[in-house]
């Protein structure tokens, strides 16, 4: 795996609405779920607020002016100690740039941001069968085998 020295990794800020939309398009393409990521995008004001929120972090990798990789997730303040964790919610790399160090560069950029913010651990989940993701995360961290459950919120009363 050879890393491209022209790859630029940066954290998005409140003024990066267009880059955020490019990130969403990348996620839609990579996850083959364009409708979720592009059909009902929030307005610019919502995106600016989200990107300014200290509990949300988005990191992109750009090459030749285009977004070729991205990750997004949440800083989770803990209750049992005065510290925070970070959860990588989505991470994707454009198909033609996979296996070239883009995902590793994104996570290294995230590690820098998290260190600056005092985050003590970054965690992520991978699905069984997603061997590239499992290999990446195994290379970078300690594996824990856990079960994940989705619980639907209670229905609102009429």
Residue 68 in domain: yes
More confidently predicted of 129 and 118: 118
Q: What is the pLDDT of residues 37-77, one digit of tens each?
A: 999 999 999 999 999 999 999 999 999 999 999 999 999 99
**Count of structural domains within the chain:** 1
Mean pLDDT of the chain: 89
**pLDDT tier at 1, thresholds 50, 70, 90:** very low
Give residue 22's domain range: 8-140
> What does the alpha-carbon distance between residue 93 and residue 97 come to, in Å, rounded to a whole number?
6
Q: Assess whether pLDDT exceeds 70 at residue 3.
A: no
- Exposure string (b/e) for 126-154, b if CB count within 10 Å is 16 or more? beeeeeeeeebbeeeeeeeeeeeeeeeee
Counting residues of the chain whose pLDDT is more than 90, the rounded percentage is 72
Q: Is residue 156 part of a domain?
A: no
Residue 158 included in any domain? no
What CATH number is associated with residue 67? 3.40.630.30
Residue 153 in any domain: the answer is no
Nearest to 68 by CA among 12, 13, 1, 9: 9
């Amino acid at each position: 795996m050879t890393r491209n020295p022209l790859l630029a990794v940066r954290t998005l800020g409140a003024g990066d609405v267009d880059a955020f939309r490019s990130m969403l398009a990348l996620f839609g393409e990579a996850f083959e779920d364009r409708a979720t990521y592009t059909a009902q995008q929030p307005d610019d004001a919502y995106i600016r607020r989200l990107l300014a929120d200290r509990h949300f972090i988005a990191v992109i990798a750009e090459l030749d002016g285009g977004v070729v990789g991205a990750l997004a997730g949440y800083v989770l303040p803990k209750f049992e100690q005065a510290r925070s964790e970070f959860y990588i919610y989505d991470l994707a790399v454009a198909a033609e740039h996979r296996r070239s160090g883009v995902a590793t560069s994104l996570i290294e950029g995230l590690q820098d941001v998290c260190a600056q913010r005092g985050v003590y651990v970054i965690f992520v989940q991978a699905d069984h069968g997603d061997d590239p993701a499992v290999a990446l995360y195994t290379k970078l961290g300690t594996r824990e085998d856990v079960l994940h459950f989705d619980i639907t919120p209670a229905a609102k009363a009429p």
